Each structure stands twice: as structure tokens, then as C-alpha cells.
């Protein structure tokens, strides 16, 4: 097949260019050049220009043959040129004198060096995807092989739990065949489709300075290419099996003598591709191709639980034997003996003269019923204490069905059409970790996450130097969450009937076991499951790209539009989430926290909580938002040795609108209608009401992102690269972000103590909202009075778009036999990043007032505020009236701009590829990440890291929080290899073996992934006792080095010297920074390995038998220690974040 050159925007293709020269190295103009794909029979032709240059830009990843002919020269044929996704390969050809009828055959590959682009990234080849050991066969897991990438990759929608070159987790964009496929929500992207290993051709992880064709990403691009059919029918049939009988137990199960939980997994499927062929009607060879695949997963995944449950003595009110993890006795105090004035002293609790015992007659009625829903202790606690005295294991059911269909057709030699449709239907259940009789009380929810995605791609080559491409894509994600206790009536526990009745009035699907959360103890119930219900996300995209070839310039320009829609019906927390901590029962001074004073379960027995919420109509919305981007890119081959990449992109994110205008924003300058406080400002405004715009925030029109790069190769095997670019990310105003619909959603705070100050008793759990006094749903009818008297959360209208400035410089050198070494500096600077701001804190200068902050004074707002609570009485504590917005108990601004980050790294890469025997990638990253808040959404926080405590909101965020990021991995080494052993037919050893010996000893391959990395910095917290409405509190540190010597295993019960940290005094802040500069979480050292044996079958088929071992050395990677200074388990490590050794076997037939 002959045809014009399809110059194509390189989202999912590769380009091949170079220079044709004669034996004297003079340029040869007018040479005929043909590129042919042996797999599909497609060929494309062009001619070298006056400078001998040529360029093909429409080539799908794969193997190609180049044929060059010119008058007076022999015809040159070079085979085996491998091109990869988004690769700009350059090969210069030298012709020899002779007749064109004479042919010179050459076998070679494209060079590893990137001489045409400054883009930073790494292609994960098909061989690596198919052959490397992958637990649950998730190709995205291989992202962690790339320099500058650290974190983890999950199996669900929030699986983007990794950071790319200092960017925030969850902000990576994922393109499937060039189509954006991750619906955004709350500032992070949701994975919808997980391509099967056998459906993935390859993918490229672009980490920095990529072309202006790509936008809307704060943390790199994953560019996935699906397989396509070829002229030959090809496919696979496989099954991968796991059974826990072949696995190791977890470290903590072994320590607790807990039997290994049972795990089974069957992952099976097929793939098939080839030409569309209908006998006697249509022969699609060289014209129309198909590819289809199916994969199923049936899994029972082992899980374990190690937690603290009330001891039998505690259930009877006896806390006399309780101690901290270091053996210090815990004293429980009686909140009903609190003195009326500062320092609010209390007496130790007693029953009939016996200290540290609560008389059963004092038990709250609901608490008394809840006692029977706690599992009994089944193991000794740490150091003989009551801590971590319950262990359980079980299996989580997880099933997936997914499939893809893809068609590729050449409508003519100038037109190409492609279509793909993908479906994925995962169902995730829960393990039973409570005894069967009380399993309904377990905090356990199940979810489904059905997804579909499709694309249509049309390409038209107007001429050899002009091309148009149009793409349309759609991704739909539908999630539904149910709880184990769905339908449970909380009246059974002794709650008043108004709790269930008010929930049912909002939706018939709201009832569940209320959430009972106690600091340091195992929680009960699903009341905290806000996502209970359904969530639907829809993303559509339209793209147009144009390419023009002009002498030494390749000009690409175009644009894209994305539409984001969200239809959500989530009704969680309608039966309440009730919290209990040690503050209510601490002493002898009620405001002085200590790990040896107070107990959360004791607070529960007395029925006095530290807070809680009942939510009605959590998230009932229907929103839509849009994104538009336009770009121009000039890849200019300025000289034969220098290429400049010059790009410019302009982007607009149009904020969401809600179908019924159920959105709010906070206006800090609008006069409040409440009387009594002169000059009172601030209130909630409603979109679309009173002349307000329908959006919550303004549209930012200044998102201009230049991209500049160069690639200079003074020598054939040496390249210098560098570049700078600005990259804009999603900004929190997308359709599926938290809408903040106060008035249409009602949050009623539970006050277990007066004002939830923890000092004086308030409402008992058995009657948490006396008379059913819930905040009513009022819509926008109350205007600026909405939410007054309570705490509110909303965005502000002024909104900027977060962005990163990326910069890099590299040296690449290619050695003989396709070995390449690269050393690169990569840096980034995050600007206007999102964070949750607290703006109702008193200036820290008010700390000097001490106990006067809590002095009752006349309340000028009495009878005016909407919400019952601290601001609705005749008197109010002085501190409330000193707040910036005294009509609210708290004001939180969601998705506020202003956080920053800095990242600097040295990245070294050693690579060996395009070899039939060995593929090797070794990556080392040494870097530092600094920021003032690394986590914008806990959904994308890996288990291996914590989050900083925001302490003083009255000063700039930079001053309070800036330091080492909780995402900082200072050293990260990853190596992967695929190696065919040199034994058997066609190999170095055993080429003459007979068929039986060869079947026994030939055809083996070993593959592996080695990982070693440092842990992330620890972030500490303390009880918040400053009393000025600050968002949190950090401990005091005495300045002494708290590191302890010895292995992690020897420090599990005391990971660091806990005595170096203490609770700040009342009305003070702690002196610690957001993270520790020298204490880090345990690091990771892991080896995954696999071995294949291949058997030849008739008709070019083969059978592969696989044995794969994950964490083959069974080396545990431990989770973070407890860093809450007042926790009884402060400094204790109690979790393992990696899998114990797991063995998987498989059989696979390839044809």
C-alpha cells in the first residue's frame, strides 16, 4: 500500500526523521523514502527536501522497515526499527554509489538517545508490561519504575497515589489512545479504566517539559496505547492463580499467633486481534483491523486488623489497670466534678470509694447497649497493656469483569479512522472482622465502580506536509456505596426515635449503624460513611490537531474542549457520627492534655462525646463544568545538531454550575444582617440568587503556559537536553468537587460538652439532640443568616488555577550494544496550590489573654443565629466575639489557592533495550521536596505517609507549615529486568539439543523488579488546647535527637524517643514544624521476581508457564508510627504496608 505521509500530532504515535547523505556526507535531496509496517502492511512515502531532510510523523508504535532509493545510489533497506509512543526518533542514512536495482540490507534499531525533544519521560515497553511481575496485573504499577516517581498505585478510582517530580498526588492526567480518561473530583483525578496487560501495547510516563499539546496536569501524563490488530491473527488465552497456601503470613499476624487469612485469586481472560475478514465478502488485510480482549478477576483478598478494644474490666467501668504503652498508669477524671472557673480542676473518678472506676449505674443508656457490640480482646496488649489487644483476619471479596473492542481502518491512503470501546465493572466487598453475632456493628462498606470509555479518531492527510486530526472521547464512572448495616434502626441501641425518623425523612436508604469513633479504640458503625449512595461522573472531550511541515519546522497547533458532569445522590451520616476522646475525662486540669490522663471509652460510658455530626442531604447535586485549551508547538531543527522545542498553551477552566443553583460561596466583605455587633461582615451567598452569578468562583483567564526546550547532540552518541515549562492543573472548581451546598445540606453538630470545649458536660449520647433539634434544610431562603451560629465551609469567589514551573537539564550518552546512561537535574516549583484555609481563628496575640478567652459575657447575637450551639445562648465565651467572623463558630475556605512547593532532584538512568535477550531499566532519584501542605485530599494519601498539622492560621501558610514535605522520598532506587536465559534452541548454549532435552532445559526467562527507598518525614500532632479556633496543634520538642538505634523490628513498640515530645500547655502553641527534619517513616526494600518456561506448540503457537513471587524475601515494610503525642500508643508501629511474600502461577497460550 502506498500513500502520503500522515503528519500527526504525537499523542499516541511516533515520528521518524533524519537526513539522507552520500558517501562524502553531502546531503541528498529528492531521495524516495518509504516506511513500511510489516505487521499491517501499511507503507508511507515521502522525499528528502533540499537539505536531505525527511520526516514521518504518523507512525504507530511498533517495528518498521525503511527503504531509500535515489538515482546513482544503491537502494538501502533497513529493517527492525522499533518506534515507541511519543518518540521522536532520528536516523541519518548514508547511501553508497551504484544502481538503484542493487540493494543493501541493514538490520538496526532506532537510537536510544532523544535528539529531537527536551521532554522528560520514560516508555514502558510491551515486553516489560507483559513479562514483569505484576500483582493483580495492573500496568499502572509500572509507573513506579520511572525516575522522579514515588508513592503507590491503587486498584480503584483513587489509585493515583503517587507524586511526579514533586507534583501533588492525584493530579496526573491519563490518556488512553490519546483520550483524557480520568474524571476529576476535589482536585484529584479518578482512574476509571485499567487496561489489561494483554490489551496494552505500551505507555509513556511524561514527567516534565512535555509538548504544549498536553495540558491540565499538575503531575505528569500517562500516555497509554492499546494494541491494534495486524494482518496476522494473533492473541492469547491465560489464567493467573493465587492461593494463600503458597503465601507467607503478615509480620504482625505472626507476632500475634494469628492464623494466615485465606486468599484466593483467579485472573483469567483472552485477547484476539487481526484483520476483519468475512469470507467471500470482505478481506480487511491492509485495510481494516480489530482487537478485542476480556479479563475477569475472582478474588478473596486476605486482610488483617490489629486494634484496641475495651477490656472486660473497662466494660464494667474499671480502668484501674490501664497504662500507656510505656507503662505509665492512666488516670480517669470525673467531668461532673469540674470546677466552675479556670483552671477547671477535676477529681479522679471513683465508684464507692474505689478510684478509677465508673459505677455501672452511671453508664449512658446507649453506651450500655454499645458495649455488647465490641469484640472481646483476644490477645495480650503491647507490653502487657490494654493497647492493640484485638487481632482479626478475613477475606475481602473483589470481582472484576472488563473488556475492550478496538477497530482501526484505512478509509483511503489519506484517511484513517479508529474506534475503541472499553468497559470495567469492579465490585468490592468487605471482610468480616467482627464475630458473626455482632458483625453488623463493623465499620464496613461495599462499593461498585462501573466504568465505560469510548473514543473515535479521524485523521486526514491533506498532503505530504499537512494533516488534520479530530478526536472525540467519553468516560463515564458510576459508583455506589452500601454499608453492612444498611437498614439498621439506631432506636435499637437506645437512641431517641427522632434520629431514625429524621434520616428516613430525607431518603429511605439512609439508615445504618451510627458511627462511634473513640480515639485510640476500634470504631463501630458506618455512620461516618458520607459516600453512602451513588456518584456519577461523566467526562467528554473534543480535540483537533493540525500539523504543518515547513522546511526545518514542524508546526503543530490545535485545541481541545472537555466537559465534566456530576450527578450525585449521597446520603451518608444521616444516623450520625459520634466522636469520643480523652479530653472529657482528663485532668486534674480539664484543659491540660496528657497521654496518662483520660480515656475515650470512659467518656463513652458516661455518654459525653467530644463532638459529632448528623448530616441530612449530604450531597444531592447535578453539576457541570468545562475546560478549553489551545496550543501551538514549533519543533525547529535549527541545525543538524540542534533542535528547539517552542510551545505555547492557553487554558481556561470554566467553574461549575449546578442545575438547581444549590451552591454557596463565602463573601467576607458583605455586611451581615445580624444586629448587635457594629460593622459585622461576612456571610454565605447563593449562586443564581439575588443577581449572583451561577458559578461559585470567578473564571481565571490568565492561564498562559510557555514550553521551551532544546536537544543538542555535538557527537553521535552524546546529547544535551534542557527545558522550562509551566503546567496548569485542575483547580477545585470542576463539576465533581465538593459543592458546599449549606442550606440544601444540613449538618447538625453534637455537643457532648458545652460548646464542645471538653470542660463541662453537655448532651448525653442517649439524647444527643434534645427534642430532635436538628438544623433544618432551608435552601437559600435565609440568605446571609444561613449557617450562623455554627461552622461553615465554602469557597470564595476569587479563584486562581494551580500551576507548576518545571525545569530540567540532562546529559545522555549511548554506549555500544544499546546501553544508554542519562544524568538529569529536574526541578519544579508549585504555585497557587490548593489547601483548606481556616479564616476564623483569633490572631495568636490573643493567646496572652489565657483563661479570659473562656470568660462568659453577654451575647449580642442571642436569638438571631440559625444554629443552636455556643452562639445561641444568653452568654457566650469571650473568644467567640473576638473572632474575625463572630457570627460563626468556624469558617473554612475549601480549595483556596496559596500553597507552594519546591522540588529539586538528580535523576540517573541506565537503560538497555531493543535486545532479544535483555531489557534493563535502572533508575535512581535523589531529591528533596519542600512545601507548606502536601495533601489536598486524603483520598490520594498513601498508607506510607501522614499529613501535616496546620497550627496557626493567623499567619501566612508559608510561615506556619513550610518545610520538608510528607511526600519527600530523599533516595529512591528502582531496577527492572527481563532476561532470556541463553539455553536451548537458537541460544548460545544448547542449540543442538534434541527436542526432549530442549523441552526440559531450554526456553527459560527470569524477570524482576527491585525497589529500595527511604521513608517519608514524620508529622506530629497534639491535642488542640490553644482555644483560639486554630485548625490544629503540634507538640513541643525539647531539641534533643529522638532517633533510636537498632532495626525497625526492634523499635516497633518505641520507634523514637517519645520523651522528647510533649503536649503544649493550655493557651500556647507547640514549637514543632509541620514535619520532623530527621525522623522518617520506615523505608521500603522489596524484590518481586518471576520465571517463565516456554514450550513450542504447533502452528506458531507457544505455551508459557509462569511462576511469580511478590516480596520474595518476605521483608516487611512497616507503616508509620503513631505520632499523636497524647495517644496511649504514641511511638508505636502497628501496621505493615506491603504484602507478605505471595506466590502466583499462570499458564498462557500465545498464537
- Render 443-496 in DSSP notation, one character per residue: --EEEEEEEEEEEEEEEEEEETTEEEEEEEEEEEEEEEEEETTTT--GGGGT--
Nearest alpha carbon to residue 407 among 196, 228, 230: 228
| DSSP per-residue string spanning 233-277 | -EEEEEEEEEEGGGSPPPHHHHHHTPPPPP-EEEEEEEEEEEE-E
Distance CA 356, CA 333 (A): 8
Query: What's the Cα-to-Cα distance from 338 to each of 876, 886, 1024, 1066, rounded to whole Å?
Result: 19, 27, 19, 16
- Which of 182-196, 525-539, 955-969 is predicted least confidently? 182-196
Flag whether 863 is in a domain: no
What pLDDT is stored for residue 914 in this prediction? 65
CATH of the domain at 74: 2.60.40.1120
**What pairs with residue 234 in β-bridges?**
273
Q: Which of 639, 604, 655, 785 is nearest to 710 (CA)?
A: 639
Phi and psi torsions of 43, nearest 5°:
-140, 150
Phi, psi of 144 (to 5 degrees): -75, -5
C-alpha pair distances (Å), 966 with each of 347, 784, 804, 1021: 40, 39, 18, 14
Asked if residue 91 belongs to a domain, the reply is: yes
pLDDT of residue 1051: 96
Classify residue 203: in a domain, yes or no: no
Instruction: For residue 146, give the C-alpha cell.
Output: 520511572
**CB-based contact 1081:994 (threshold 8 Å):** no
Grid cell at residue 438: 455482632
pLDDT at 935 over 70: no
pLDDT in tens, 747-782: 999 999 987 788 999 999 999 999 999 999 999 999
pLDDT band at 5 (very low <50, low <70, confident <90, very high): very low
> What does each C-alpha distance from 522 to 374, 387, 856, 1013 come to in angstroms?
8, 11, 37, 31
Supply the pLDDT for residue 1100: 87
- Listed in sequence order, the DSSP H helices in 138-186 are none
Q: Is residue 73 pLDDT above 90, yes or no?
A: no
The more confident residue out of 376 and 81 is 376
190 within 8 A of 184, measured Cβ to Cβ: yes
Least confident of 98-102, 578-582, 1050-1054, 1094-1098: 98-102
d(CA 676, CA 669) in angstroms, rounded, equals: 18
- pLDDT, mean over the chain: 92
Q: Which of 105-114, 277-286, 309-318, 981-990 has the lowest mean pLDDT?
A: 105-114
User: In this model, does residue 806 exceed pLDDT 60?
Assistant: yes
Residue-wise burial string across 974-993, b where 16 or more C-beta atoms lie within 10 A, e elsewhere = bbbbbbbbebbbebeebeeb
Residue 63 within a domain: yes
- Overall number of domains in the chain: 1
Q: What is the mean pLDDT of residues 542-551?
A: 91
Helix (H) or strand (E) holding 32: strand 32-36
Residue 938 pLDDT level (bands cut at 50, 70, 90): low
What pLDDT sits at residue 944? 65
| 101 belongs to a structural domain | yes
* Mean pLDDT (whole number) for 900-905: 97
Domain membership of residue 220 (yes or no) is no
Q: Please report, rounded to a whole number, the percentage of residues in the chain having pLDDT higher than 90.
A: 74
Q: What is the DSSP letter of 591?
A: T
Q: Could you list the residue range(s) of the whole structural domain that residue 39 is in?
A: 14-110
The pLDDT of residue 854? 92
Tens digits of residue pLDDT in 479-526: 999 999 999 999 999 999 999 999 999 999 999 999 999 999 999 999
Q: Average pLDDT in the 713-730 region?
A: 94
pLDDT of residue 54: 87
Whole-angstrom distance, CA of residue 1066 vs CA of residue 1073 = 19
Do 131 and 1107 meet the contact criterion of CB atoms below 8 Å apart?
A: no
490-504, 654-668, 811-825, 924-938: least confidently modelled range: 924-938
Residue 317 to residues 757, 763, 765, Cα–Cα distance (Å)? 24, 20, 17
From first CA to last CA, the distance across the chain in angstroms is 26
Local confidence band at 9 (pLDDT 50, 70, 90 cut-offs): very low
- The pLDDT, as a whole number, for residue 7 is 44
Q: Which among 1080, 1049, 1083, 1135 is positioned nearest to 973, based on CA atoms? A: 1083
Among residues 901, 900, 893, 899, the alpha carbon closest in space to that of 836 is found at 893
> How does pLDDT run across 342-379, given as a tens digit for each residue?
889 999 999 999 999 999 999 999 999 999 999 999 99
Specify the pLDDT at position 6.
37
| H helices present in 983-1033, as ranges | 995-1001
Counted residue by residue, the chain has a size of: 1151
Q: Per residue in 1032-1091, pLDDT tens?
A: 999 999 999 999 999 999 999 999 999 999 999 999 999 999 999 899 999 999 999 999
Q: What is the chain's Cα-based Rg? A: 32
Q: Are 52 and 29 in contact (CB under 8 A)?
A: yes
Q: Residue 75 falls within a domain, yes or no?
A: yes
Greatest extent of the chain over all pairs of C-alpha atoms, in Å: 113
Mean pLDDT of 591-613: 94
Instruction: Tell me 775's DSSP state.
Output: P
pLDDT of 1023 over the 70 cut:
yes
Q: Which residues contact 50 (CB under 8 A, 6 or more apart)?
A: 27, 29
pLDDT tens for residues 129-183?
A: 999 999 989 999 999 999 999 998 988 888 888 999 999 988 999 999 999 999 8
pTM of the model: 0.89
**pLDDT band, residue 2 (cuts 50/70/90):** very low
Which pLDDT band holds residue 939 (cuts at 50, 70, 90)? low
Say which residue, 434 or 325, is predicted with more confidence: 434
What mean pLDDT comes out for the span 251-267? 89
Does 303 map to a domain?
Answer: no
pLDDT at 432 > cutoff 70: yes
Amino acid at each position: 500500500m502506498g500513500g502520503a505521509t500522515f503528519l500527526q500530532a504525537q499523542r499516541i504515535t511516533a515520528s521518524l526523521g533524519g537526513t539522507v547523505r552520500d558517501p562524502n556526507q553531502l546531503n541528498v535531496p529528492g531521495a524516495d523514502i518509504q516506511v513500511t509496517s510489516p505487521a499491517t502492511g501499511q507503507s508511507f512515502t515521502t522525499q528528502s527536501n533540499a537539505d536531505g531532510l525527511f520526516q514521518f510523523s504518523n507512525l504507530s508504535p511498533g517495528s518498521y522497515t525503511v527503504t531509500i532509493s535515489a538515482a546513482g545510489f544503491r537502494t538501502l533497506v533497513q529493517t527492525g526499527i522499533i518506534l515507541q509512543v511519543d518518540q521522536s526518533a532520528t536516523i541519518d542514512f548514508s547511501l553508497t554509489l551504484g544502481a538503484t536495482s542493487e540493494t543493501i540490507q541493514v538490520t538496526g534499531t532506532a537510537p536510544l538517545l532523544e535528539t529531537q525533544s527536551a521532554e522528560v519521560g520514560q516508555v514502558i515497553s510491551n515486553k516489560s508490561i507483559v513479562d514483569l511481575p505484576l500483582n493483580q496485573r495492573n500496568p499502572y504499577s509500572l509507573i513506579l519504575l520511572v525516575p522522579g516517581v514515588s508513592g503507590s498505585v491503587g486498584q480503584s478510582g483513587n489509585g493515583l497515589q503517587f507524586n511526579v517530580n514533586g507534583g501533588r498526588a492525584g493530579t496526573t492526567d491519563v490518556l488512553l489512545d490519546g483520550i483524557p480518561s480520568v474524571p476529576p473530583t476535589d482536585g484529584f483525578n479518578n482512574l476509571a479504566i485499567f487496561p489489561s496487560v494483554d490489551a496494552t501495547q505500551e505507555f509513556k510516563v511524561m514527567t516534565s517539559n512535555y509538548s504544549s499539546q498536553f495540558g491540565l496536569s499538575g503531575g505528569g501524563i500517562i500516555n497509554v496505547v492499546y494494541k491494534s490488530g495486524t494482518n496476522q491473527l494473533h492473541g492469547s488465552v491465560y489464567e493467573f492463580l493465587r492461593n494463600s497456601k503458597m503465601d507467607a503470613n503478615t509480620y504482625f499476624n505472626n507476632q500475634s499467633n494469628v492464623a494466615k487469612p485465606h486468599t484466593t485469586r483467579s485472573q483469567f481472560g483472552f485477547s484476539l486481534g487481526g484483520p476483519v475478514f468475512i469470507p467471500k465478502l470482505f478481506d480487511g488485510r491492509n485495510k481494516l483491523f480489530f482487537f478485542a480482549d476480556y479479563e475477569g478477576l475472582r478474588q478473596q483478598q486476605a486482610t488483617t486488623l490489629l486494634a484496641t478494644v475495651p477490656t472486660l474490666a473497662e466494660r464494667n467501668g474499671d480502668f484501674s489497670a490501664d497504662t500507656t504503652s510505656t507503662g505509665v498508669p492512666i488516670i480517669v477524671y470525673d467531668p461532673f466534678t469540674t470546677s466552675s472557673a479556670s483552671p477547671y480542676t477535676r477529681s479522679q473518678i471513683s465508684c464507692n470509694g474505689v478510684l478509677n472506676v465508673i459505677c455501672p449505674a452511671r453508664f449512658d443508656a446507649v453506651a450500655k447497649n454499645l458495649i455488647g457490640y465490641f469484640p472481646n480482646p483476644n490477645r495480650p496488649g503491647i507490653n502487657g497493656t490494654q493497647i492493640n489487644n484485638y487481632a482479626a483476619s478475613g477475606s475481602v471479596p473483589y470481582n472484576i469483569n472488563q473488556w475492550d473492542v478496538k477497530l482501526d481502518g484505512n478509509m483511503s491512503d489519506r484517511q484513517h479512522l479508529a474506534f475503541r470501546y472499553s468497559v470495567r465493572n469492579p465490585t468490592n466487598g468487605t471482610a468480616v472482622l467482627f464475630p458473626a453475632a455482632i458483625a453488623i456493628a463493623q465499620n464496613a462498606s461495599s462499593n461498585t465502580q462501573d466504568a465505560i470509555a469510548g473514543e473515535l479518531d479521524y485523521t486526514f492527510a491533506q498532503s505530504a506536509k499537512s494533516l488534520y486530526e479530530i478526536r472525540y472521547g467519553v468516560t463515564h464512572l458510576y459508583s455506589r456505596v452500601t454499608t453492612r448495616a444498611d437498614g439498621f434502626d439506631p432506636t435499637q441501641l437506645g437512641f431517641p426515635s427522632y434520629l431514625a425518623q429524621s434520616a428516613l425523612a430525607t431518603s429511605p436508604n439512609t439508615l445504618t449503624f451510627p458511627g462511634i469513633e473513640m480515639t485510640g479504640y476500634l470504631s463501630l458503625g458506618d455512620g461516618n460513611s458520607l459516600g453512602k449512595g451513588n456518584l456519577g461522573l461523566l467526562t467528554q472531550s473534543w480535540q483537533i490537531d493540525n500539523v504543518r511541515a515547513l522546511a526545518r519546522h514542524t508546526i503543530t497547533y490545535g485545541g481541545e474542549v472537555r466537559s465534566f458532569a456530576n450527578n450525585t445522590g449521597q446520603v451518608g451520616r444521616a444516623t450520625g457520627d459520634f466522636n469520643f476522646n480523652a479530653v472529657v475525662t482528663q485532668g486534674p486540669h480539664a484543659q491540660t492534655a496528657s497521654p496518662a490522663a483520660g480515656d475515650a471509652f470512659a467518656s463513652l460510658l458516661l455518654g459525653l462525646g467530644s463532638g459529632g455530626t448528623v448530616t441530612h442531604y449530604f450531597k444531592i447535586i447535578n453539576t457541570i463544568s468545562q475546560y478549553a485549551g489551545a496550543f501551538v508547538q514549533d519543533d525547529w531543527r535549527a541545525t543538524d545538531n540542534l533542535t528547539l522545542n517552542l510551545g505555547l498553551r492557553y487554558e481556561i477552566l470554566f467553574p461549575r454550575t449546578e442545575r438547581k443553583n444549590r451552591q454557596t460561596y463565602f463573601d467576607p466583605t458583605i455586611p451581615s444582617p445580624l444586629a448587635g455587633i457594629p460593622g459585622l461582615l461576612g456571610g454565605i451567598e447563593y449562586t443564581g440568587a439575588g443577581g449572583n452569578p451561577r458559578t461559585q468562583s470567578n473564571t481565571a483567564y490568565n492561564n498562559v503556559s510557555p514550553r521551551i526546550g532544546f536537544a543538542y547532540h555535538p557527537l553521535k552518541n552524546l546529547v544535551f537536553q534542557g527545558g522550562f515549562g509551566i503546567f496548569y492543573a485542575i483547580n477545585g472548581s470542576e463539576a465533581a468537587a465538593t459543592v458546599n451546598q449549606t442550606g440544601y445540606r444540613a449538618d447538625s453538630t453534637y455537643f457532648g460538652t458545652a460548646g464542645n470545649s471538653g470542660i463541662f458536660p453537655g448532651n448525653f449520647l442517649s439524647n444527643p439532640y434534645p427534642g430532635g433539634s436538628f438544623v433544618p434544610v432551608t435552601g437559600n431562603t435565609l440568605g446571609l443568616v444561613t449557617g450562623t451560629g455554627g461552622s461553615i465551609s465554602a469557597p470564595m469567589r476569587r479563584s486562581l488555577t494551580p500551576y507548576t514551573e518545571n525545569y530540567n537539564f540532562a546529559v545522555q550518552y549511548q554506549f555500544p550494544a544499546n546501553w544508554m546512561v542519562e544524568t538529569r537535574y529536574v526541578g519544579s516549583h508549585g504555585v497557587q496550590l490548593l489547601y483548606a484555609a481556616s479564616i476564623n481563628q483569633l490572631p495568636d496575640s490573643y493567646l496572652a489573654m489565657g483563661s479570659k478567652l473562656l470568660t462568659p459575657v453577654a451575647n449580642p447575637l442571642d436569638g438571631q443565629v440559625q444554629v443552636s450551639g455556643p452562639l445561641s445562648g444568653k452568654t457566650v465565651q469571650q473568644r467567640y466575639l473576638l473572632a474575625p467572623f463572630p457570627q460563626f463558630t468556624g469558617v473554612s475556605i475549601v480549595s483556596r489557592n496559596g500553597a507552594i512547593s519546591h522540588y529539586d532532584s538528580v535523576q540517573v538512568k541506565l537503560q538497555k533495550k531493543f535486545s532479544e535477550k535483555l531489557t534493563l531499566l535502572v533508575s535512581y532519584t535523589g531529591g528533596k521536596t519542600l512545601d507548606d501542605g502536601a495533601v489536598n485530599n486524603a483520598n490520594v494519601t498513601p498508607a506510607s505517609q501522614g499529613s501535616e498539622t496546620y497550627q496557626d492560621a493567623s499567619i501566612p501558610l508559608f510561615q506556619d507549615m513550610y518545610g520538608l514535605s510528607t511526600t519527600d522520598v530523599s533516595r529512591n532506587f528502582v531496577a527492572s529486568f527481563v532476561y532470556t536465559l541463553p539455553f536451548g534452541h537458537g541460544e548460545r548454549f544448547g542449540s543442538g539439543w534434541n527436542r526432549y532435552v530442549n523441552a526440559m532445559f531450554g526456553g527459560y526467562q527470569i524477570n524482576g523488579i527491585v525497589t529500595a527507598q527511604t521513608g517519608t518525614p514524620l508529622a506530629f500532632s497534639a491535642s488542640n488546647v490553644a482555644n483560639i479556633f486554630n485548625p490544629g496543634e503540634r507538640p513541643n520538642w525539647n531539641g534533643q535527637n529522638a532517633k533510636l538505634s537498632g532495626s525497625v523490628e526492634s523499635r516497633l513498640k518505641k520507634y523514637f524517643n517519645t520523651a522528647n515530645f510533649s503536649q503544649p500547655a493550655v493557651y500556647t502553641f507547640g514549637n514543632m514544624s509541620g514535619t520532623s527534619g530527621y525522623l522518617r517513616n520506615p523505608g521500603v526494600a522489596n524484590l518481586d521476581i518471576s520465571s517463565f518456561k516456554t514450550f513450542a506448540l504447533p502452528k506458531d503457537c507457544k505455551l508459557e508457564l509462569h511462576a511469580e513471587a511478590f516480596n520474595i524475601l518476605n521483608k516487611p515494610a512497616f507503616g508509620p508510627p503513631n505520632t499523636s503525642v497524647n495517644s496511649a500508643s504514641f511511638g508505636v508501629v502497628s501496621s505493615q504496608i506491603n504484602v507478605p511474600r505471595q506466590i502466583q502461577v499462570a499458564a498462557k497460550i500465545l498464537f
